[in-house]
Amino acid sequence: MIATPYLLYLGHADDPVGIKTSRGLAVFRPESCVGEFRHDDCPLTLGLPRLSLDEAVAAGARTLVLGIANAGGVLGDALVRDAVAALEAGLDVAAGLHQRLADNPLIAAAAARTGRRLHDVRDAPAGLPVGTGYPRAGRRLLTVGTDCSVGKMYASLALVAGLRAKGLPADFRATGQTGILIAGAGVPLDAVVADFISGAIEQLAPARDDGGWDVIEGQGSLFHPSFAGVSTGLLHGAQAGVLVLCHDPARPHVRGLPGRALPTIAECIAANLQVARLTSPAVRMGGIALNTVSLDEDAARAMCAALAEEHGLACSDPHRFGVDDLIDGVLA
């Protein structure tokens, strides 16, 4: 297990979306976060106390979480220097980047020298099966998106809370680094060999007969050329009865690919339902979850109402306005 409390790393980051792991932990596990570590050129904050490494140790922090996502998930020079400094200050280090902490010679040597632990969250479990697509019992919901990083994890966690509030058993099934750090378990799907993606999800959300829900965190988008393969395998392995579509209306283009337009919501609904039908013929769309952080409240409410009318689906910003309408759509 990763020792808590956490010190959340922002480093030199200047992209609000790029710090989504640190932000997710600050929002969903605030009791486990003592502060944030950022350099003077970082314009971002999580609203936590800004602490040096030594101050964080004095405040009780036990693990520095490198909660940022960069292109390719690489350990740049600044990240390596800060990780080594954290180990020497007396902290363990956790990360979910594609480049593993343990594979970096400077970080590995510092961990061995100081006796501190390294946690690579993006290590795929061994022995994953190949998916079969055979019917299995249980009620499953999968969040899907018009793009990557549009709020699928936030929506999933909010939906779990909403289902539990109605007295229904519900479990969050994490498939990405942030979700795994929040939940304490899961499968880092983008680290799984392609042939085993659907089988990994079948194993993550197996058959259940208690009337409860597995809410499976979506990844990527069928319309993102870089990540559509992961999204496809997830749709097949989830075998979900209900999908919830997540969308950021302020996104100017597909994330990381200027000039490539986002799909329309109607296109995304149709494509996701079509792909999901391979293993879940009766799948339906339960609602639309908007990320309205860029809109004022009146504009956000108006957009939710307009999209609900246009598509005949419940629509809400789960983090801002709650999920009551979405839960009604899911359970309809």
Give Cα separations from 331 to 68, 193, 243 (angstroms): 35, 34, 12
CATH T-level topology, domain 6-120: Rossmann fold (3.40.50)
pLDDT confidence of residue 71: 61
Complete edge-to-edge strand list for the sheet that includes strand 63-66: 33-38, 6-11, 63-66, 92-95, 118-120
Residue 171 has a pLDDT of: 97
| pLDDT at residue 270, rounded to an integer | 98
Of the candidates 140, 141, 152, 206, the one whose C-alpha atom is nearest the C-alpha of residue 179 is 152
Residue 101 contacts residue 75 (beta carbons within 8 Å): yes
Which pLDDT score, from 0 to 100, does residue 72 have? 58
Q: How far apart are CA 185 and CA 189, in angstroms?
A: 12
- Give the CATH number of domain 139-331; options: 3.40.225.10, 3.20.20.60, 3.75.10.10, 3.40.50.300: 3.40.50.300
In angstroms, the Cα distances linking 234 to 16, 81, 243, 244 are 26, 36, 12, 14
Its pTM stands at: 0.86
Give me the tens of pLDDT residue by residue for the chain, a chain 332 residues long.
789 999 999 999 998 888 988 998 999 899 999 999 999 999 999 999 999 999 999 999 999 999 987 665 678 889 999 999 999 999 999 998 888 999 999 999 999 999 999 999 888 888 999 999 999 999 999 999 999 989 999 999 999 999 999 999 999 999 998 898 888 889 999 889 999 999 999 999 999 999 999 999 999 999 999 999 999 999 999 999 999 999 999 999 999 899 999 999 999 999 999 999 999 999 999 999 999 999 999 999 999 999 999 999 999 999 899 999 999 999 98
Q: Where in the chain is the domain with CATH 3.40.50.720?
A: 6-120
Q: Tokens 């018009």: give the residue.
A: 146
The label of the residue with tokens 């957009």 reads: 303
Q: What local confidence, expressed as pLDDT, does residue 275 receive?
A: 98
Percent helix, percent strand, percent coil in the chain, to nearest 5: 40, 15, 45
Please list the residue range(s) of the chain that carry CATH number 3.40.50.300. 139-331
